[in-house]
Amino acid sequence: MFSDGNWAAILLTVKLASIVTLLLLIISTPIAWWLAHTRCRLKSFFEALVALPIVLPPSVLGFYLLLLMGPQGVVGQITQALGIGTLPFTFAGLVVASVFYSLPFVVQPIQLAFENIGENYLEAAATLRASPLDRFFSVAMPLALPGFLTGSVLGFAHTVGEFGVVLMVGGNIPGVSRVVSVQIYDYVEALEYGQAHSLALTMLLFSFVILLLLYTFNPNRRTR
Amino acid sequence: MIKQMLILLSGCALLFGLTVARAETVQVATAANFTAPMKQIAAEFEQRTGHRVVLTFAASGKFFAQIQNGAPFEVFLSADASKPQKLEEQGWSVPGSRFTYAQGSLILWSSQAGFVADDSPDILRSDSVKHLSLANPKLAPYGAAAVETLQTLGLYERLAGKLVQGENIAQAYQYVFSGNAQLGFVALSQVMKEGKLSAGSGWVVPADLYTPIRQDAVLLNRGKDNIAATALLDFLKSAPAAAIIRSYGYKL
């Protein structure tokens, strides 16, 4: 059904989305926890910052990431000083860009889940002399599990569906940055509509099934 | 005397009113590489005729698909010769309206001054080049010409691992402009203004190293009865337009 090139694109996309989701869970958890509990005045500022990728066109995000990570950009200067070189046109660069791009889709569900727990359970645990870390891992985490689940699924799916940013910073290199969405775009542009259909239909079904599973099995919804 | 002048004036106004009434708007799909010259040509055309030109810029392949799906374009300036021909074969354009409005030139360009020698492509052999940017050869004629050039020079195999592809020639340029790629094959029209390189350094690829990039224009069915569309195509063939086109490094 798929050519070698298409399989390579599919594998690359799955690899990218998996790594990005994992990184996002690690990065988003403290951010979400802080946002859920802080009384800092800057809370709205950071919430807005995290939510930016939702409203920004990927071309804007991609363009700025390209400039930032380029040889003259701040990030580019740092990576060059560290001896890594510059990030555009590398798989690592794609991971960094995707993390920014999918951040709100993971932070927001987890933040919401943390907020919904409320202080009661945590305070009860504290009176039973549970340490802050213990409270977090044995009380907050299990209670917020649906949020983590939603966050990972959305983060994964959103990264798979990413296009504009990858196109801007990726350079369309097979095995490095030619993900499924870019491959489909190439087929459409080259008027190879048949090839485009097989991949595009797979993408459509994948996205639908993911969302269907999410809406069917999300415990949050069932209790409502 | 005053009466005669008034009559004359009202006559002028009437005439003026007539020409204004005849002013039409034309929707033009323009290949990305022809952006700068076309803006200038359109401005000149609007000034001379009073017609209005609405320009849209994108990759030719995208326009091709859009036109086939009912996009409201009346004139199509493609980056190649094959898409206008296909459109004519499929009955989307007015037969016999097709002509070559420009012939594109390729340049090996860097945004750094003095990086590329203007008389040799030797820099391609240098290890200091980590990324060489070009337009997707499958989609963009300039990308195909770049690959052909590398093959003629016998450097394609050697550089294959360093190639980064822009979706179209505009993106290939962006990669070089931002310094993310040290070098790239771009359209001469992107870096040339009034007959000179506007920035950086470059080697204009000799025309015998790649198949000529013929860029054809065509009158689409939707523009068949629009006088502004036919007038614009006529203007594209005129000497003033040719001068603008040449000043951006195109051949005719």
Q: Give a yes or no: residue A224 inside a domain.
A: no
Q: Same domain for B185 and B151? A: yes
Identify which of A72, A173, A188 has the shortest CB distance to residue B179: A72
Whether residue A151 is contained in a domain is answered as yes
User: What's the domain range around A39?
Assistant: 4-217
Q: Answer yes or no: is B252 within a domain.
A: no
- Which residues does chain B have within 8 Å of residue A89's beta carbon, measured at their own beta carbons? 131, 164, 180-181
Query: Of B86, B112, B107, which is closest to residue B98 (Cα–Cα)?
Result: B86
Which residues in chain A have Cβ-Cβ distances shorter than 8 Å to B179? 70-72
Question: How many domains, in total, are found in chain B?
Answer: 2
B131–A89 C-beta distance less than 8 A: yes
pLDDT band, very low/low/confident/very high, at A59 (cuts 50, 70, 90): confident
- Examine residue A222 and state whether it is found in any structural domain, yes or no: no
pTM: 0.77
What percent of chain A is helix, strand and coil (3-state, nearest 5)?
A: 80, 0, 20
Sheet strands (E) in chain A: none
> Residue B3: what pLDDT?
63
Q: Which amino acid would we find at residue B44?
A: E
Q: How many domains does chain A have?
A: 1
Sheet holding B183-187, edge to edge: B163-166, B132-135, B183-187, B106-110, B201-204
Q: Which domain holds residue B32?
A: 2-103+213-247
Q: Could you read off the pLDDT of B37-55 as tens digits, one per residue?
A: 999 999 999 999 999 999 9
- For helices B239-247 and B227-236, give the axis angle rounded to 10 degrees: 60
pLDDT band at B17 (very low <50, low <70, confident <90, very high): very low
Cα dihedral: B67, B73, B77, B81 (round 10) = 30
Task: Give pLDDT, residue B10.
Answer: 58
By C-alpha distance, the chain B residue nearest A182 is: B167
Nearest CB neighbour to A191, from listed B64, B171, B178: B64
CA quadruple A52, A178, B187, B25: dihedral, nearest 10: -60
For residues A57-72, b (16+ Cβ closer than 10 Å) or e, as one string?
ebeebbbebbbbbbbe
pLDDT one-digit tens code per residue, A80-110: 999 888 899 899 999 999 999 999 999 999 9
Same domain, B92 and B132: no
Q: Which residue in the block uniquely carries the two structure tokens 């803006």?
A: B39
Q: What is the CATH number of the domain that holds A8?
A: 1.10.3720.10
With a cut of 80, say whether residue A51 has pLDDT above it: yes
Q: CA A177 from chain center: how many Å?
A: 16
CATH number where B6 lies: 3.40.190.10
Helix pair angle (A91-117, A4-37), 10° resolution:
40
In-domain check, residue A78: yes
Residue B122 resides in a domain: yes
In a domain, B45, yes or no: yes
Which amino acid is located at A210 in the chain? I
Q: Does A32 touch chain B if contact means CB atoms closer than 8 Å?
A: no
Q: Is residue A23 part of a domain?
A: yes
Please give the Cα distance from A207 to A162 (Å, whole number).
12
Which member of A69, A173, A188 has the closest CB to residue B164?
Answer: A173
Is residue A223 domain-resident? no
Contacts of B64 in chain A (CB under 8 A): 191
Which ipTM was obtained for this model?
Answer: 0.72
Residues B29 and B154 in one domain: no
